[in-house]
A = this chain, B = another copy of it.
Amino acid sequence: MARQERAIRTQLSILKAAAEVFDSHGYEAATIGEILRRAGVTKGALYFHFPSKQALAEGVLEQQFSVIRVPPGPCRLQEFVDTGLIVAYRMRRDPLVSAVARLSLEQELRAEYGSSAIRQWIGASEVLLGAAKEQGELLPHVVPAESAWLFSAAWTGTQLYSQILLGREDLEERVVALFRHLLPSIAVPAVLSSLEITAERAARLGSASDALLEGPGEQADSPQEERTQQAAAAATA
């Protein structure tokens, strides 16, 4: 294994451990000691990559888009739906994704992390909805920036309710219901009726993305991921 590749793997295993600890205890109660134990690396290696708890939290936040792989297709709105479904699927199964939600929404951390994470979610949605509009998939009155803000906010509220009321057990189903409630007001009818918005699709795409992330193509970029990253970059610029 090349030296650089080894460094990346170490870094990822530290971030995974940090995400687990942030996700279960919150930022304040998280300790570097516990992250070290879970990551199984030396203190020197950890501090080499991440000099502080804050750097670890920022590292976790930066990773959020890298674990979302959406299959490209001809319909941008389906890609938008798929992103929402896959994030729901992964939020129940990947501490990295749910740690980001926790770090961004905790009252004490909002000033520090909340708004930048939220701006990234809105930015990524805006890029997808903007592409959908360009392809004629959205109704003429739709303003991608406004709808992107709303979808992101509504998605986050759905996630929060599902977490508080049922430990996220019904998250995919609720996200499906959310899209079914919101899309009729923005999608052209012919596009709307062609969309697949089901919990089964979430499960199918979710396990496919698990396989992708575990497989050898870990660093391969999909066109969607590129767009998402552009959006994230634009939102934080």
Which positions in A face B, CB cutoff 8 Å? 26, 102, 105-108, 110, 114-115, 118-119, 146-147, 149-150, 152-158, 160-162, 164-165, 174, 177-178, 180-186
Residues of chain B lying within 8 A (CB to CB) of residue A147: 181
| Contacts known (A107-B102, A185-B184); A153 close to B160, Cβ less than 8 A | yes
| Contacts known (A158-B157, A161-B152); A185 close to B174, Cβ less than 8 A | no
Q: How far is the CA of A149 from the CA of B158 in the complex (A)?
A: 9
| Contacts known (A150-B181, A180-B185, A181-B147); A161 close to B165, Cβ less than 8 A | no
The SS class assigned to the A binding surface is helix
Residues of chain B lying within 8 A (CB to CB) of residue A150: 154, 158, 174, 177-178, 181
Q: How far is the CA of A102 from the CA of B154 in the complex (A)?
A: 18
Q: Are A160 and B115 neighbours in the complex by a CB distance under 8 Å?
A: no
Taking a contact as CB atoms closer than 8 A, the residue among B118, B165, B174 that contacts A164 in the complex is B118
Residues of chain B lying within 8 A (CB to CB) of residue A114: 164
Other A-B pairs, 7, CB within 8 Å; known A105-B107, A153-B178, A156-B161: A105-B105, A119-B165, A150-B158, A150-B177, A153-B160, A154-B178, A181-B186
Q: How far is the CB of A53 from chain B (nearest CB, A)?
A: 17
Q: How far is the CA of A185 from the CA of B189 in the complex (A)?
A: 12
